[in-house]
Structure 1
Amino acid sequence: MTSHNTNLAPILYDIVHQYINKDGRRIDLVAVTRGPGLPGSLSSGLSTAKGLSIGLDTNFIAVHHMMLVLSRSLIDHEIIASTVDIAVGDLLDKCARHLGVTWQSKMPAAAMEAWSSDAELGDNQDWDFTIPLERKPTHRSTLAFSFSGLGSAVERLIVAEMNETRRKSLARAIQFTAFEHIIRKVILSLEQHDLSVSSLVVSGGVASNKLLRSHFRQKLEEKGFHNIELVFPPVEFCTDNAAMIAWAGYEMYQAGYKSELSALTLPKWPLNEMMDVKGWIHQSTLPPLCN
């Protein structure tokens, strides 16, 4: 939250003065994440976006930050599975820090992927990781994700005298195990629900991982899901970034939705209840956005 409060205003100041005032452009819509997420970060972003909307006298929309869901339309979503503890990105970032990976301008997980890319996948067997929620038959049939146990196992394995080769091997094994868990649960959801799915979109920061991308396609093929299109955004857009939220806001606005300035943060906001909260304004037609 401190980082948000420190950096948001200067960034927006530079954008407005460099691109808006200079070229005489108009901003038609301000989009921001309303939830789910950490309350402090959400509050900082939402308050800043409201102020920007008022200052620019423009439309405002507060949108949902997406999860593993079945999406039938812009506003019709069904949650298939969610994590019972932490997110996979959180796990990988924490493991990168525990392993002493230097990330500089990259996110910790992305830096760990690049740093450990020369480690052999076969080394995964050396660490004897158990795929999360696989020990019991009831767990194997449960549509949920769990990553905290894997994180605890990693903390126990890391020792001060571990050389770089071993640390890279461990990093590679962490990624493989986490991604195998994700893929198994996605395939389980396809099998259990007999879903007529034409496309599977994998987005967010972890979606940039090359191991995840290759392993996902391989496993879908092995399980007979040849006809499902596997879609990954370009790597530069595989983050929880402004472009993703802006596009979601644009789509919602074009469908006739915007938000009241009184809209509050929703740290816990189930996507299947996306339209059941206060703060939406719906009009059959809204003025088109400028090109």
Structure 2
Amino acid sequence: MFRSRTIRWLTSLGGRVSKVCSRRNYRVLAIETSCDDTCVAVIDRKSRQEPPVLLAHLKETLDSEKHGGIVPTKAHLHHQIKVGSLVQQALRQTSSERSIDLVCVTRGPGMPGSLSGGLDFAKGLAVAWDKPLVGVHHMLGHLLISRMHTNGSSPRYPFVSLLVSGGHTIFVHSKSISEHEILCNTIDIAIGDSLDKCAREIGIKGNMIAKNMEKFINENLEEAQSQTVDMSLPNPLRNQNGRMNVQAFSFAPFLTAVRTAMAKNKMEKCTKETRSMAYQIQEALFEHLITKLKLVISLRPDIFECTRHLVCSGGVGANRRLQQKLRDELSFQFQEFHYPEPSLCTDNAVMIGWAGIEIFETLGIKTELGVTPVKKWPLSDLLNVPGWIST
């Protein structure tokens, strides 16, 4: 049971009146299954005056290397097999079998089969324990996780977030937990997907291919920077005058360019020149990303005159080279750069738990038990999906 509860009334941004509950001394179970990682966390929320304490953080990732990518049916089966045992393990490790007060789970966006594996299990637990459920937007988790260790005090609203992963590449302006404007989005594939495909094309292998390529580059950076292979890589969406005036990302053209370079140079996969190619690919993708960020900054002075904090999160956000380039090239605009620790950049249940806490405490809402996964869920429409109810 919650040991204290204060109820106050606030007028929401949409003009509605909602009851907002402040709860202390409660424990959260969080589940994330949006893609191929089955993730479980237990978080202790001792009070609203201090950051929560992470008690358990478990993850099981589907091995997709032999399939050359994620197979949705296999990911669904993976979650069905793993989620129950991981939850049981987390509860036993933390002696939380009878002390969970809030269940948080990813509701979308993501692969419906994967999402249902975690969401259905979480709904069952909420029913069995008679506890509230919060269905969390996956990208909101990435956006908010940097605030957990400061108990929500930093970064302060308004701030912008670059959310970069295998499934998303979006630049977001956040005025509050429920007010988000997408400033720039990809028109084709995500940067993480492009990195994976380009890396696979030159012979990089593994379950996390882009991460393996970064490691491969850093093993001999001098060799990587030698540019022993001539590659003509794009900076897409230029107009006829060569100016970057299209406010969007595009990462699909890079794979075509890599294949062209491989054929032109008669390259075989995994040769001594591979490291040089890997370096050029990574640099070109990041250059395109930052070029577009600069464009958005120049076009939206109404936002950036008073925005001094940048969050970079998502799986690609853990890349050290990207973090360095963001600092080097965007320090004219931002005073503080927020990078979650690597384990919290990739998909994880901790971010889902913290986002659920912020939603539950700040907005005073929870999720109905009859909800279904949301495959496509714009962050700008966070509250415009059915299933939200007052606590």
Task: State the TM-score, normalizing by the size of structure 1.
Answer: 0.86
Give 2:369's aligned residue: 261
Give 1:153's aligned residue: 257
Q: Distance in 2 between matches of 1:4 and 1:139?
A: 46
3-state DSSP class of the match of 1:95? helix
What's the offset of the Cα at 1:248?
Answer: 0.7
Give 2:324's aligned residue: 214
What's the offset of the Cα at 1:133?
Answer: 1.9
Report matched runs for 1:95-114 at 5 Å: 95-103=198-206, 107-114=208-215
Deviation digits for residues 56-106 of structure 1 (CA, Å, limit 9, x no counterpart): 3322111112242100011111111111111111222233333333436xx
8 A Cα contact 2:239 2:245, kept in partner: no
Q: Distance in 1 between matches of 2:386 and 2:247?
A: 29
Q: Which has the higher helix share?
A: 1
Q: Distance in 2 between matches of 1:241 and 1:4?
A: 14
Q: Give the total of aligned pairs.
A: 276
The structure whose RCO (Cα within 8 Å, separation 6+) is larger is: 1
What's the offset of the Cα at 1:40?
Answer: 2.0
Give 1:169's aligned residue: 276
Give 1:286's aligned residue: none
Give 1:247's aligned residue: 354
Which residue of the other structure, out of 307, 310, 314, is the alignment partner of 1:200? 310
AA at the equivalent of 2:181: E
Q: Distance in 1 between matches of 2:255 and 2:204?
A: 16
3-state DSSP class of the match of 2:103? strand
8 A Cα contact 1:124 1:173, kept in partner: no
8 A Cα contact 2:238 2:246, kept in partner: no
Q: Which has the higher strand share?
A: 2
8 A Cα contact 1:202 1:231, kept in partner: yes
Deviation digits for residues 225-284 of structure 1 (CA, Å, limit 9, x no counterpart): 2x432211122211121111111111101111211111221111111111111111124x
8 A Cα contact 2:195 2:210, kept in partner: yes
Give 2:339's aligned residue: 232
AA at the equivalent of 2:178: I
8 A Cα contact 1:31 1:246, kept in partner: yes
Indicate the percent of aligned positions where both proteins have the same amino acid.
39
What's the offset of the Cα at 1:150?
Answer: 1.0
Which residue of the other structure, out of 280, 290, 300, is the alignment partner of 1:183? 290
Q: Distance in 2 between matches of 1:274 and 1:176?
A: 33
8 A Cα contact 2:229 2:273, kept in partner: no
Which residue of the other structure, out of 232, 237, 247, is the alignment partner of 1:133? 237
8 A Cα contact 1:124 1:172, kept in partner: no
Q: Residue 26 in 1 paired to residue 99 in 2? A: yes
RMSD: 2.3
What's the offset of the Cα at 1:193?
Answer: 0.7
